Structure 1
Amino acid sequence: MRALDCTTEAPCPPSRLRIALVTETFPPEVNGVAMTLERMVDGLVERGYDMQLVRPRQASDSTAAGVRGFDEVLVRGLKLPRYDRLRFGLPARSRLLREWSRRRPDLVHVATEGPLGWSAVTVANTLRVPVTSDFHTNFDRYSAHYGIGWLRRPVAAYLRRFHNRSATTYVPTAALARSLGDQGYARVEAIGRGVDTALFDPLRRSEALRRDWGLAPDGLAVISVGRLAPEKNLGLVLRAFAAIREQRADARLILVGDGPLRDTLARTCPDAVLAGTRHREDLAAHYASSDLFLFPSQTETFGNVTLEAMASGVCTLAYGYAAAAETIRDLDNGAVVRCGDEDGFIERAIQLAVNDRLRAELGEAARRSAEGLSWGHVVDTFADALLRAWRRGGAAQPWPAATGAGGRAD
């Protein structure tokens, strides 16, 4: 850890600050939240923090513990409806009370808002351990895409109540911090995201992969990466691609990801390449081998895929919010259009598809922009934020008596 000035107002932490991070998703699950948390946990371990990860048990888990360089507490979970590969954690109050009474963390950080996360906040407050939280997903906005729009206000109220029980809520953009503040969130702080520019690199472009997609040497590969789900606005991707095909018969649509719409897309878009879920170098090759990245989602809190495409040197078109609003300058290092302007999105997609030179220039500029977005800086910022939270709420708290240790097994 960094050298620190220690005073009565700002006491020094223990030699290894012990942080319990609670999440309902973590690799090998594939989603932006899981990948971000893995980066954060690994980065904190490298910086000397004593990490404990609390999460639902996954099908791939063995009985081995501590093999990743940090402790793990595995709790019961259930499959998430319509997302069989993801799980949500069941309430685990008794289990966490036992664990944290036996070995008290200095700070609890809760990354997801499900039943497991609620249990973690409750136990941390009971033991008077400072607790912070992440806001990763606009779950209230998802309701409209699944025919349960009437739940939007109750879900929004639950999320606000959840996060206001923590000392600070961390979000990935300043715009989201302002938005949540306007909605009644008490303490919100923005901490950005990074991208691995060694992994996502234009040099991973593969002509063999492009041939596998059925592209001619000068053909246009239009790619979309993410869950194949209603909230990703894939209908606009399909409409934009149809308009592109009217101008460029050599274009091919590549859909990377999996989800509840996969079978529907296979039936309605027989010419599209459904590449499924891809990982690390394989995923990076899919990005780099493409020519135009379309990302019209309006439900993101950030959208890691935006940075991954930019780092891969791919011309990126997105709505002007979340990651795109903070990293893309229109027609300088990518393209952005006003949120909800579907006609504008399609028009800009056509403009980029037919102008090879412009597309290449924007892709090169995107790569240069991404090179300044290192994960190391992001982890340092996160570590400093957690340390401030500990100093505000943890240093003066007495060690509470270990109570409730005989609860049920979770």
Structure 2
Amino acid sequence: MDTSDLRIALFSGNYNYTRDGANQALNRLVGSLLGQGAAVRVYSPKTPDPDFAPTGDLVDLPNVRMPVKGRGEYRLPLRLGRSVKRDLERFAPNIVHLSSPDPAGHAALSFAQDHDIPVLASVHTRFETYPRYYNMAFLEPIITAMLRRFYNRCDALVAPSQSMIDELLVMEMHDDIGLWSRGVDRTIFSSQQRDLAWRREVGLGDGDVAIVFLGRLVMEKGLDVFADTIVELRKRQVPHKVLVIGDGPAREWFKETLPGGIFAGFKTGPELGQALASGDIFFNPSVTETFGNVTLEAMACGLPVVAAGATGATSLVNDGVTGRLVPLKGRGSNAAPDSAGLADALAPYCLDPALRMAHGSAGEERSFDYSWEAINQVVADTYIRLVEERRALIAAEAAQTADKAGTAG
């Protein structure tokens, strides 16, 4: 079987209406599959004004605005509906890919099982950790159990980092989990994109050390920990400035909490590469990442990384070589990086230009290991394996039935 023989139905809770690392990876995957002759049909909510044009054919899923405070820009797919089921039957996929354990994902899983189609699920985020950022940490065990049931109904999983695979195995989410890492576009992210003129325009002097936050401004990205750490650095009188790249519902809270911070707003493409490379230290306090695209992009831009020692970052950052990993304190839903420990890790980079350059250069060199072409082929190969295994199983069952019928006759 070849990639061109695949007919893939891909389900996503957010394929293109709001830009994030997960859907950018999915769009790159679809582009790679289409380029090899595969047939792909994507099912995801549509909005009138999406952040970017979708790669491939996109079919709208019935949806509502996400019923969570501060997450109103996201849509919740509710079901498949008759028209989507008819579309699926006409398309006749031989593999189903689920990228989100939402209600439509559950319905698509049931559809696949009813039609004897193998299912691959990709894990993009630590959904079970989200409630702790909305004062509902008591829901974490319930959500974990729901995720375990969902993922174990699938034929296999792929996750973007070995640290996330290890965590999924411990949580008994599945026993067939492959590594679908992430790549970086080196035409956009490179130390060569650093621009002193841009720095001056936003208020950074040539000698200023800019600590960068990059991502959607939502609380589950660790904004509170980032802010507490900056306060700690200010108390210690460690010279630095804060550069925030991104936008989101928590923007005003973040601005009020970080007076004097430079908020560059949402960036994409070459403008994003320019802004990121024009920083000096990348600080990622999030514990919800399964990979951390922004961490890899910062490394490609030559920035040393200080990150929470959580899934994703632990597979990217070589502690003491390309940056620093700060262990989490506490257990379960209370596990979080300590702001004092993060400040301890950031301070030497603020004070020592040679250390910044050495660790930033090492990170940029490490980023060359991440090629989108090779990474996406892993998923295509997993599709092929699952389809061939299902065909072999169906053939074996048919032969067994024939044998029984012959014996009975």
TM over 0.5: yes
Structure having the higher helix fraction is 2
Any idea what the Cα deviations from partners look like across 1:39-73, whole Å, max 9, x if unmatched? Answer: 111111112211111111122269xxxx8663221
Partner of 1:89: 77
> Which consecutive residues of structure 1, in runs of 5 or more, have no partner in the other structure?
1-11, 399-410
Match among 16, 19, 43 for residue 30 of structure 1:
19
Partner of 1:265: 254
Cα drift, residue 13 of structure 1 = 5.1
Partner of 1:301: 290
Partner of 1:194: 183
Deviates more, 1:287-296 or 1:270-279: 270-279
TM-score, normalization: structure 1? 0.87
Match among 216, 219, 240 for residue 205 of structure 2:
216
Partner of 1:226: 215
Asked if structure 1 preserves the Cα contact closer than 8 Å seen for 2:27 and 2:54, the reply is no
How far apart in 2 are the matches of 1:244 and 1:359? 17
Match among 7, 31, 56 for residue 45 of structure 2:
56
How far apart in 1 are the matches of 2:293 and 2:158? 16
Number of equivalent positions: 383
Match among 106, 116, 135 for residue 128 of structure 1:
116
Please state if 1:368 is matched with 2:357: no
Partner of 1:384: 381
The SS at the match of 1:75 is: coil
Cα drift, residue 227 of structure 1 = 2.2
Partner of 2:402: none
Any idea what the Cα deviations from partners look like across 1:123-144, whole Å, max 9, x if unmatched? Answer: 1111111111111121111111
> Which consecutive residues of structure 2, in runs of 5 or more, have no partner in the other structure?
330-336, 396-409
Cα drift, residue 391 of structure 1 = 1.0
Q: Identity percentage over the alignment? A: 28
Asked if structure 1 preserves the Cα contact closer than 8 Å seen for 2:286 and 2:308, the reply is yes
Partner of 1:357: 354
The SS at the match of 2:74 is: strand
> RMSD of aligned C-alpha atoms?
2.2
Partner of 2:313: 324
How far apart in 1 are the matches of 2:320 and 2:361? 12
Cα drift, residue 366 of structure 1 = 0.8
Cα drift, residue 249 of structure 1 = 7.0
CA separation of 1:207/1:129 partners in 2, compared to 1, >3 Å: closer, same or farther?
Answer: same
Asked if structure 2 preserves the Cα contact closer than 8 Å seen for 1:29 and 1:86, the reply is yes
How far apart in 2 are the matches of 1:397 and 1:207? 62
CA separation of 1:100/1:182 partners in 2, compared to 1, >3 Å: closer, same or farther?
Answer: same
How far apart in 1 are the matches of 2:392 and 2:324? 47
Any idea what the Cα deviations from partners look like across 1:348-398, whole Å, max 9, x if unmatched? Answer: 111111111100111111111101211111011111111111111246659
Partner of 2:162: 174
- Which protein, 1 or 2, shows the higher relative CO under an 8 Å CA cutoff with sep ≥ 6? 1
CA separation of 1:265/1:68 partners in 2, compared to 1, >3 Å: closer, same or farther?
Answer: closer
Partner of 2:146: 158
Cα drift, residue 14 of structure 1 = 8.1
The SS at the match of 1:83 is: coil
Partner of 1:138: 126
The SS at the match of 2:328 is: coil
Matched AA of 1:224: F
Asked if structure 1 preserves the Cα contact closer than 8 Å seen for 2:15 and 2:54, the reply is no
Partner of 2:101: 113
Matched AA of 2:266: T
Partner of 2:404: none
